[in-house]
Chains A and B, each alone.
Chain A
Amino acid sequence: EIVLTQSPTTMAASPGEKVTITCRASSSVSYMHWFQQKSGTSPKPWIYDTSKLASGVPDRFSGSGSGTSYSLTISSMEAEDAATYYCLQRSSYPLTFGSGTKLEIK
């Protein structure tokens, strides 16, 4: 099983601040996918195939990485970005998610 380790677990950012969330895989994966979840709602697809933004995702978000190290970056934090973000690998079974990064607004 590929274990995905996200960091940080929680963080708070000020409006306008740059934010980077990292997802490290225990073995190499071909792509990483990201989801955003707000309290009491279903996760939403956010970034797929490492760097492609899902429909409706603001372009202040970006994704990058390869092999065992991937990241999600927000160029300028906004209040609406406060949420929990999960990474997902589907390169091998079982599909696995990271444990999540809770991002709060300062």
Chain B
Amino acid sequence: QVQLQQSGTELVKPASSVKISCKASGYTFTSNYMHWIRQQPGNGLEWIGWIYPGNGNTKYNQKFDGKATLTADKSSSTAYMQLSSLTSEDSAVYFCARDGSPFAYWGQGTLVTVSS
């Protein structure tokens, strides 16, 4: 069965960077888009962008240009999102979600807390 296993909670300092992972299993990793979605505390959902692991192509929400960088490692079937220049506004739960009618499968979410 399809599973997306995300990395654990991160506590990071302002102005630093963090890289979170999403390990996929149960399907052909290179054949499906992987999306990333942000949920700030008590707030709704925001689409960050997608990566197509088959060729590394990416598409970003302009709001996250320069903030998020999406990559994928085909050898380990793992998608990554690096967030840079972190501020308190970046404190949120970040989800990966595999495409398919749409966002048919979600990771459990990674909590990122930005605090000094």
Residues of A participating in the B interface, judged by any CB pair closer than 8 Å? 33, 35, 42-45, 48-49, 52, 54, 86, 88, 90, 93-100
Contact of B47 among A42, A44, A45, A94 (CB under 8 A): A94
A86 in contact with B63 (CB, 8 Å)? no
B101 in contact with A49 (CB, 8 Å)? yes
A45 in contact with B44 (CB, 8 Å)? no
Contact of B106 among A42, A52, A96, A99 (CB under 8 A): A42
B106 in contact with A95 (CB, 8 Å)? no
A35 in contact with B103 (CB, 8 Å)? yes
A98 in contact with B103 (CB, 8 Å)? no
Q: Which residues of A contact B108 (CB under 8 A)?
A: 42
User: Told that A43-B103, A93-B59, A98-B44 touch, could you supply 18 new A-B pairs with CB distance under 8 A?
Assistant: A33-B103, A35-B45, A35-B103, A42-B106, A42-B107, A43-B95, A43-B106, A44-B106, A45-B101, A48-B101, A48-B102, A86-B45, A94-B47, A94-B61, A95-B35, A95-B47, A95-B61, A99-B44
A42 in contact with B101 (CB, 8 Å)? no
Question: Smallest distance from the beta carbon of B23 to chain A beta carbons, Å?
Answer: 15
Q: Which residues of A contact B46 (CB under 8 A)?
A: 97
Contact of A90 among B44, B63, B102 (CB under 8 A): B102
Closest to B106 in A: A42
Bound CA–CA A58/B104 (angstroms): 17
A42 in contact with B95 (CB, 8 Å)? yes
Closest to B109 in A: A42
Q: Which residues of B contact A95 (CB under 8 A)?
A: 35, 47, 61
Question: Smallest distance from the beta carbon of A80 to chain B beta carbons, Å?
Answer: 19
Bound CA–CA A100/B45 (angstroms): 9
Closest to B105 in A: A45
Q: Which residues of B contact A42 (CB under 8 A)?
A: 95, 106-109
B101 in contact with A94 (CB, 8 Å)? no
Bound CA–CA A43/B35 (angstroms): 13
Question: Smallest distance from the beta carbon of B94 to chain A beta carbons, Å?
Answer: 11
Q: Which residues of B contact A43 (CB under 8 A)?
A: 45, 95, 103, 106
